[in-house]
A and B are shown apart, each in its own frame.
Chain A
């Protein structure tokens, strides 16, 4: 009995190592394309910290000329980006009670400035009926990346002449938690609508887009 209690105590003490903690900083900014009050899609731009930047530059700037060629960008895409498809590209879309990841992204590019790297890709909202009121969040369910938005966190383009400007906020939405299974395989991109046994809950910051 005493042994069991002691082992249990030790296991409880050892729960610390089972917690994940970020090793990398992701610095996003979103650029929305509007046609009137309809959002057609948005660009996701990610900045990265010195460490990941150095690693990517070291690995993929093969000619060491301080910029990425098309071939180098393709290698980055194939080896240091596309795996995010298994994580929904870290992009969570929500409209009312509906939550989902984009099925695909396009126009990936990468560049470097002052020894920092940036990724950029496009998320099309065509056919998704997002309307004039929806939310977007960037969240890494594996907790490898800490997310810290750029300032400003969003910009927009209005293609309709004299079209309205959208309003936006960036905040934690306690009414919209993200549930995720920390033990699921990488290929599991399930989005859970409600909490269940074994699921963890997170409240990532959300960009709320709306029109008055």
Chain B
């Protein structure tokens, strides 16, 4: 492994830590058990014209969905998809949405093929939005199967809990892989392979997109789940365009900066391995601590906020 691992890990940690911010809805929770405040709320990026424009497209998508629930026309459906696509671009330009990790991957890629930034950008946005579809589907199944849960839960609890649970599992796998690699003394002196890059993208992108989740919840309520999925697909394409553009930007700007760093590769080899191992361990412990109350409450059949 190279120092690229350090950069990937740093970025992964930052992205992970910022992810729960999206789901800390202050309305949800009980008087004696307040909703957890997500770490790293940070400064506000939420005011101003950019945010307002996002709300405009988001509200536009809701209006079209409401019209489609009446007597849908081709224009309504086309308008809905166009608005979702534009909302996806704007939403993707906001905080999160894996731009940084894609940017970093293509800082690390020595000679990517011309289509790779687009491939990884769309893979990331598809997974990010697809995770929302999957989690909503799971949530709906739970709601139908165990109706008593619905009175004491909200979608956000499950979204947070499931995402954290998946990350606990994945970080554990990464720790095991790293230990095996270090025991075998298998340092890779090559740049990270495509398989590793795609794995990293998959890990980082499975956190459900909050915008897509809200769109789907609205569609679900209107009994328009098919159009909800169509809208999320259009939104995902919009986010993919933006994330891919970031990838191409990194490819264009990578060569000079990264080639200098490469000169130190051998000297940082051991440090990179140890840092990567410790980072994965930190991620694992952090996720486990965060997810623990959720899983305890699941096993007790009454998840609490």
B45 at interface by CB-CB < 8 Å: yes
Contact A19–B15 (Cβ < 8 Å): no
B26 at interface by CB-CB < 8 Å: yes
* Chain B residues within CB distance 8 Å of chain A: 3, 6-7, 10-11, 14-15, 17-19, 21-22, 24-31, 34-37, 39-47, 51, 55, 58-59, 62-63, 65-66, 94-96, 99-100, 103-104, 150-152, 154-155, 210-211, 214-215, 217-218, 220-222, 257, 260-261, 264, 268, 305
Q: Which residues of A contact B15 (CB under 8 A)?
A: 14, 17
A157 at interface by CB-CB < 8 Å: no
Instruction: Please pick, from A18, A20, A80, A183, the residue contacting B28 in the complex, using a CB distance under 8 A.
Output: A80
- The total number of A-B Cβ pairs within 8 Å is 183
Contact B95–A21 (Cβ < 8 Å): yes
Q: Which residues of B contact A11 (CB under 8 A)?
A: 10, 14
Instruction: Please pick, from B26, B44, B100, the residue contacting A14 in the complex, using a CB distance under 8 A.
Output: B100
Q: Which residues of B contact A75 (CB under 8 A)?
A: 151
Of the four ranges (under 10, 10 to 19, 20 to 34, 35 or more), the interface on chain A belongs to: 35 or more
- A15-62 with Cβ < 8 A to chain B: 15-25, 49-52, 54-55, 57-59
Bound form: Cα–Cα A28–B35 in Å: 23
Q: Mark A167-186, 1 if CB is under 8 A from B, else 0.
A: 00000000000000011111
Bound form: Cα–Cα A86–B33 in Å: 10
A-B contact pairs, 11 of them (CB 8 A): A6-B7, A13-B103, A17-B19, A18-B14, A19-B44, A20-B95, A54-B217, A80-B154, A83-B30, A143-B46, A187-B34
Instruction: Please pick, from A13, A15, A57, A144, the residue contacting B221 in the complex, using a CB distance under 8 A.
Output: A57
A129 at interface by CB-CB < 8 Å: no
Assuming the A-B contacts A51-B62, A183-B40, A185-B37, are A140 and B26 also in contact, with contact meaning beta carbons closer than 8 angstroms in the complex?
Answer: yes
Bound form: Cα–Cα A44–B149 in Å: 31
Q: Which residues of A contact B257 (CB under 8 A)?
A: 6
Q: Which residues of A contact B3 (CB under 8 A)?
A: 3
Q: Which residues of B contact A190 (CB under 8 A)?
A: none
Contact B11–A10 (Cβ < 8 Å): yes
Q: Which residues of B contact A200 (CB under 8 A)?
A: 43-44
Instruction: Please pick, from A10, A16, A25, A146, the residue contacting B95 in the complex, using a CB distance under 8 A.
Output: A16
Bound form: Cα–Cα A59–B140 in Å: 11
Contact A51–B218 (Cβ < 8 Å): yes
Instruction: Please pick, from A50, A54, A78, A87, the residue contacting B26 in the complex, using a CB distance under 8 A.
Output: A87
Contact A50–B217 (Cβ < 8 Å): no
- A89-131 with Cβ < 8 A to chain B: 115
Known: A19-B43, A183-B41. 13 other contacts (CB 8 A): A3-B268, A15-B42, A16-B45, A17-B14, A17-B15, A18-B17, A19-B42, A20-B21, A21-B95, A49-B55, A83-B26, A183-B37, A183-B40
Contact A23–B22 (Cβ < 8 Å): yes
Q: Which residues of B contact A57 (CB under 8 A)?
A: 221
Contact A18–B42 (Cβ < 8 Å): yes
Contact B44–A202 (Cβ < 8 Å): yes
In the complex, the chain A residue whose C-beta lies closest to that of B16 is A17
